[in-house]
Amino acid sequence: MYSIPMPDFYSFFYRSRHHSMAVLWLWAVAPATMAQAQMPGNDATWKELAQEPVHVECTDFNGKPWCRSRGLVMAPMASVSEALKQMRHNSDMFENVISVAIISSDVLHVVLDYPPPLDDRDYVAKYTFTDAGDTHTYSWVPAPEANVPNVEGVVRLPNYAGEWRLESQGEATWVRYTWQAEINGSFPSFAYSTAWKKAGHEALKDLANTQKAELRTE
């Protein structure tokens, strides 16, 4: 149902190391003092897109697309959590991030590299970290009050929000990544499902790679 043939360009887009949807998650990790996204819960009608290599599902919430993926990173939660906290300071590790501007202690402006002929994307977001013992949560919401000017030739993602949820499973960490899944700009709607599946998997895989750890399905 979701195996939609795509032109060669879009096939390249999803294979490319520079595919931006794979790294949107990287900047959803900076601790902050306040910000909580209003997100769809388990009672929403989630549509399954993939079961492997990780579970990915999407829903419509308040007229906007949202997706989430989940899996098990075979590393302790303290280590996985620390990797998320420090991610914004290691932007040079990710080739498809053009720039990261720290607007304030809890607000970032991120510009992402999309392959031609697509325009690049950017977003401005405010972050919160919550420690509830065996559960750590990193959530982010748009920060329009930061008044970051639009960048010429770059498509702004004005509604980008979401959450990382980590739960300790002994020497492993259960991870759920939820994100507001609008892509905007000149991106073909027929390719959305493929992009969302790729983004959900790549987010968890990259997090596991920070630990040089195995990523498993539940």
pLDDT band at 187 (very low <50, low <70, confident <90, very high): confident
What pLDDT was estimated at residue 2?
26
What pLDDT was estimated at residue 185?
87
Q: Tell me which residue of 16, 14, 12 sits closest to 2, measured CA to CA.
A: 14
Distances (CA, A) of 167 to 46, 140, 164, 173, 204: 21, 18, 10, 6, 14
Q: What percent of the chain has pLDDT over 90?
A: 48
Contact 128, 150 (CB under 8 A): no
CA distance 119 to 96: 13
What is the tens place of the pLDDT at every residue in 42-59? 899 999 999 999 999 999
In this predicted structure, which of 55-59, 85-89, 105-109, 155-159 has the lowest mean pLDDT? 85-89
What is the tens place of the pLDDT at every residue in 160-184? 899 999 999 999 999 999 999 998 8
Q: C-alpha dihedral over 72, 29, 183, 148, to 10 degrees?
A: 180
The answer to whether the bond into 40 is cis (omega within 30° of 0) is: no
What pLDDT was estimated at residue 86?
77
CATH 3.30.530.20 fits 27-216, yes or no: yes
In degrees rounded to 5, what are phi and psi of residue 6? -130, 150
Average pLDDT of 98-127? 85
In this predicted structure, which of 10-24, 72-86, 138-152 has the lowest mean pLDDT? 10-24
What pLDDT was estimated at residue 27?
46
Average pLDDT of 98-126? 85
User: For residue 18, is pLDDT > 70?
Assistant: no
What pLDDT was estimated at residue 37?
59
Query: In which residue are the tokens 């949560």 written?
Result: 137
Q: Tell me which residue of 123, 210, 198 sits closest to 166, measured CA to CA.
A: 210
SS3 207: helix
Contact 216, 71 (CB under 8 A): yes
Contact 46, 58 (CB under 8 A): yes
CA distance 144 to 172: 37
What pLDDT was estimated at residue 94?
58
Average pLDDT of 202-218? 88
Contact 200, 46 (CB under 8 A): no
Single-letter code of the amino acid located at 183: I
What pLDDT was estimated at residue 35?
43
Question: pTM score > 0.85 for this model?
Answer: no
Q: Using alpha carbons only, how large is the chain's radius of gyration in Å?
A: 16
User: What ranges do the domains of the chain cover?
Assistant: 27-216
From the number of C-beta atoms within 10 Å of its C-beta (0-12, 13-18, 19+), residue 166 rates as buried
